[in-house]
């Protein structure tokens, strides 16, 4: 896949209780809000699990990340559908590598911002 500066890649994901439980085991992030459901039977999704959304673009394009910046705006709960828009800011071939940088914004199903930030790296 060849990306272009200005290109916007959009995708969505709904987080499940099972995913939060597995990520709790893998990460060791055992905050009570990740283990005990709220009054609507939802768990709070770990911020780093939420941050896997924009990293999908990196995975799909073999990006070796150098920097990642995240600003967590509000909680994400199990059952929430998160829409992630990644905008390619730089895509430039240099020597035998391609430099890439992108910004992203993630919103929930009621259009509230939950995560924003940027990443940069190289494609080998």
Domain-by-domain residue ranges, the chain?
Answer: 8-15+46-123
CATH fold for the domain made of 8-15+46-123: Thiol Ester Dehydrase; Chain A (3.10.129)
- Cα angle, residue 108 at apex, residues 103 and 111 outer, rounded to 5°: 90
Question: Which residue in 79, 78, 82, 77 sits closest to 106, CA to CA?
Answer: 82
Strand 97-107's sheet: what is its strand order?
8-14, 81-94, 97-107, 113-123, 63-72
Parallel, antiparallel or unpaired: strands 81-94 and 97-107: antiparallel
How high is the pLDDT of residue 66?
A: 95
Digitized pLDDT (tens) for each residue of the chain, 124 residues in all: 578 999 999 999 999 999 999 999 999 888 888 888 889 999 999 999 999 999 888 889 889 999 999 999 999 999 999 999 999 999 998 888 899 999 999 999 999 999 999 999 999 7
């Amino acid at each position: 896949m060849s990306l272009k500066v200005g290109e916007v890649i959009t995708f969505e994901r709904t987080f499940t209780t099972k995913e939060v439980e597995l990520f709790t085991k893998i990460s060791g992030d055992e905050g009570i809000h990740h283990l005990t459901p709220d009054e609507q039977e939802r768990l709070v999704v770990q911020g780093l699990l939420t941050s896997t959304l924009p990293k999908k673009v990196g995975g799909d394009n073999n990006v070796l990340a150098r920097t990642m910046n995240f600003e967590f705006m509000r909680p994400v709960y199990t059952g929430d559908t998160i829409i992630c828009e990644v905008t390619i800011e730089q895509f430039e071939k240099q020597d035998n590598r391609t430099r890439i940088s992108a910004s992203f914004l993630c919103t929930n199903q009621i259009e509230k911002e939950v995560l924003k930030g940027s990443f940069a790296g190289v494609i080998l």
